[in-house]
Chains A and B, each alone.
Chain A
């Protein structure tokens, strides 16, 4: 099976712009979770989607949003970018998103905000 794929792999944006990141889960996986990874804060949970519905949400401002399509592909959007949004954004897929499911991470999108 192909692994989790994320596009683009690298992005450079300026403050105030908005950005959309894409994640394609492993075939058959219906749960997609998004994480932000920074050197200072580590890996932080953004949100989880299952069957096109946001099922769980972390403690991030409303500028961070996401959605999931019927084929389980997911996108996350960050509006009005701030310098502090520079990070590695990782998505992870699992079959059903249950607490005992294994999460498979994609390679991430490295976002730099100038």
Chain B
């Protein structure tokens, strides 16, 4: 079936280190969305990328959408303890209107 793969599943970093999570789709995505879910919380929308090759930044977060619109990445520079949580990518595959989520990358930050 349609899948959006996300790696790594877990990432432990020391505060101040960088972090990257990658998202790959088996088919072309009309757009890619990124969400953050804090422990015990619910997913919160971070950003949406629509255009091929698009790059967007939010302070220490950099989001990229691949040229083929099949992959994306989220990079956090100089992580802080407030970055702890699970980061999900999600996209609409091949014209579908069903949002498909990756399984997320759980980030822990050691102070």
Contact = CB atoms under 8 A, between A and B. Distances in A.
A34 to B, nearest CB: 11
B103 A108 contact: no
A105 interface: yes
Interface residues on chain A, size class: 20 to 34
Contacts of B59: none
Contacts, number: 53
Given A100-B50, A103-B45, A45 B100 contact: yes
A42 B91 CA distance: 14
B104 interface: yes
B98 A42 contact: no
B42 A106 contact: yes
A77 interface: no
Interface residues of B, number: 24
A109 to B, nearest CB: 11
Contact of A33 (B41, B45, B48, B99): B99
A90 interface: yes
A92 B101 CA distance: 14
Interface in A58-114: 58-59, 90, 92, 97, 99-100, 102-108
Interface of A: 33, 35, 41-45, 48, 55-56, 58-59, 90, 92, 97, 99-100, 102-108
Given A97-B97, A100-B50, A43 B44 contact: no
A105 B37 CA distance: 10
